[in-house]
């Protein structure tokens, strides 16, 4: 039976701790959430860290400490965000790879991000791709728009496959400026994925969370959930922790005969040694 990779994105860079106290912004909180998410069925954790004031951070020392602690406490695939926040300079985002995670996010183009711009110029994409491959870090290509799908295809055709040879991407729908979080938009993006793609997941922001999770499973994809993307479990009922969203995704996937992958299966899927 085919199984489902459940990625959890527990923190992100956008939500404020003051507004969402359940957001794991300290290392201790992140480790507790990661363990609960692994127990609930997550295979991979997409990590943004925060500083002592709960602000988004790309501090290399903190990133290294976080990678080591997650590896010690869980067997989750550890993916560091190279997207950071919209305010992070490109050089600091590139330096994230020096923390040596298993995987890194790699966004394949710029996109309006609410009132801001999430900047990903082509030379930066190439630098990230080359550095990740040199270091043996497996990228997950983040695709916020249809043009990003074509940029990913151009990247692998011009530069070859990433470390390990698998090609995993994640469709992010619902950012104001990118693809809307509708099954129709997801179908359009899936239809133009290049043949080199070996696996894909999807996440829908906010109200798009459930429609995109359901559609991704129906289309044979994997899913990403977590407070980074969605703070409400149901109308009027905030998420108490990302593990709740992982548990629900695992239940739905099991009912659809696509049970949650183990972390070992997740490593196989991504060709991680
Ligand atoms: N925080 C967004 C600006 C990623 O992690 O690679 C970018 C983001 C994507 O979250
Ligand atoms: Zn992220």
Pocket-testing residue among 94, 114, 118, 119, ligand 1, by greatest number of atoms within 8 A of Cβ: 118
Q: Please state whether the predicted TM-score (pTM) of the whole model is above 0.85.
A: yes
Q: Report the alpha-carbon angle 55-56-59, nearest 5.
A: 110
Confidence (pLDDT) at 94: 98
Q: What percent of the chain has pLDDT over 90?
A: 99
CA distance 267 to 113: 31
DSSP 8-state code for residue 273:
-
Q: Is 144 in the pocket of ligand 1 (CB under 6 A)?
A: no
8, 266 contact by CB (below 8 A): no
Q: Which residue in the block uniquely carries the two structure tokens 């043996």?
A: 136
Span 164-198, pLDDT tens digits? 999 999 999 999 999 999 999 999 999 999 999 99
Closest residue (by CA) to atom 8 of ligand 1?
83
CA distance 47 to 81: 6
CA distance 45 to 34: 7
Pocket-testing residue among 84, 124, 141, ligand 1, by greatest number of atoms within 8 A of Cβ: 84
Phi-psi region of 121 (alpha: psi -120 to 50; beta: other; left: phi over 0): beta
Span 215-270, pLDDT tens digits? 999 999 999 999 999 999 999 999 999 999 999 999 999 999 999 999 999 999 99
Ligand 2 geometric centre to CA of 5 (Å): 17
Ligand 1 geometric centre to CA of 64 (Å): 19
Average pLDDT for the chain: 98
Ligand 2 geometric centre to CA of 104 (Å): 10
């Amino acid at each position: 039976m085919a199984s489902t990779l459940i990625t959890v994105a527990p923190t992100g860079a956008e939500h404020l701790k003051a507004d969402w106290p359940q957001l794991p912004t300290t290392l201790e909180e992140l480790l507790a959430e990661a363990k609960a998410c692994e127990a609930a069925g997550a295979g991979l954790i997409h990590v943004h860290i925060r500083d002592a004031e709960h602000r988004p951070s790309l501090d290399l020392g903190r990133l290294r400490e976080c990678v080591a602690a997650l590896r010690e406490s869980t067997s989750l695939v550890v993916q560091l965000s190279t997207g950071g926040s919209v305010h992070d300079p490109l050089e600091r985002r590139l330096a994230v790879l020096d923390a040596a995670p298993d995987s890194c996010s790699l966004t394949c183009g710029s996109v309006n991000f609410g009132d801001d711009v999430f900047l990903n110029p082509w030379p930066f994409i190439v630098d990230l791709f080359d550095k990740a491959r040199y270091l043996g870090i497996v990228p997950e290509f983040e695709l916020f728009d249809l043009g990003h799908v074509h940029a990913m295809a151009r990247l692998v055709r011009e530069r070859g496959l990433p470390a390990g040879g698998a090609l995993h991407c994640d469709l992010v729908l619902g950012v104001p400026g990118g693809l809307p979080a509708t099954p129709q938009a997801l179908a359009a993006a899936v239809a133009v994925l290049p043949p080199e793609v070996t696996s894909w997941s999807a996440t829908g922001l906010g109200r798009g969370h459930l429609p995109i999770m359901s559609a991704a499973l129906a289309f044979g994809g994997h899913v990403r959930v977590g407070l980074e993307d969605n703070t409400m479990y149901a109308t009027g009922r905030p998420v108490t922790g990302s593990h709740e969203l992982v548990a629900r995704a695992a239940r739905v996937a099991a009912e659809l005969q696509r049970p949650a992958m183990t972390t070992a299966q997740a490593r196989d899927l991504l060709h991680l040694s």
